[in-house]
A and B are shown apart, each in its own frame.
Chain A
């Protein structure tokens, strides 16, 4: 079984500054994937970034990067140069690579507010 913990229910950041959203995970799988999704107020789930457990380098996608520390079981999302449109709920998720169900296990989310 997998578990995702996001300890920050809400975060505030000034426009153009960087922000880190925390995520820790627990799993007994040797091989797994970590994901971040963004959910704006309109409700859709938008995929942001993926990190495989055996990837040696931290994943980056534009202004998003994933700070992966395997020994600490953490997968923090870093958003650089925040924009007003980044205000949304952010979910960390993971999937174990054992078994046939590609179920994503989600954390409870962090509500990010970007202030002008």
Chain B
């Protein structure tokens, strides 16, 4: 089954404690990206990757890092999370037309 997986699905953490949200896709897609969804602001792109070792900033990259060492994996790293990064995060990979979204990670930073 074609899918994008994310872990964890839910995370409550404290300010400053480094965390990683993993993302993996099994469709051999080259393009992957991360979005965050906030009430009233919709979904906004954080980072994207065109292929292995090729990443670039989206619209709201501050406070985030990514890496793309393998085609299937695209982790999102928050080195020093802050409360304004409390959000619902989606990983996505691009098919021929549509983008497939992971199930989302609901992050709360206290």
Contact = CB atoms under 8 A, between A and B. Distances in A.
B102 to A, nearest CB: 8
Contacts of B107: none
10 contacts: A35-B99, A44-B104, A47-B98, A47-B101, A101-B58, A102-B33, A103-B48, A104-B35, A104-B45, A106-B43
A110 B42 CA distance: 11
Interface of A: 33, 35, 37, 43-47, 50, 52, 91, 93, 100-104, 106-109
Contacts, number: 53
A45 to B, nearest CB: 4
Contacts of B58: 101, 103
Nearest to B40: A108
B42 A108 contact: yes
Contacts of B101: 37, 44-47
B98 A50 contact: yes
Nearest to B90: A45
B88 A43 contact: yes
Nearest to B44: A106
A104 B97 contact: no
A50 B98 CA distance: 7
Chain B interface, DSSP helix/strand/loop, else mixed = strand
B65 interface: no
A103 B45 contact: yes
A43 B104 contact: yes
A107 B33 CA distance: 18
Given A101-B58, A108-B42, A44 B97 contact: no
A106 B45 CA distance: 10
Contacts of A104: 35, 43, 45, 92, 99
B63 to A, nearest CB: 19
A91 B43 CA distance: 10
B72 to A, nearest CB: 18
Nearest to B41: A108
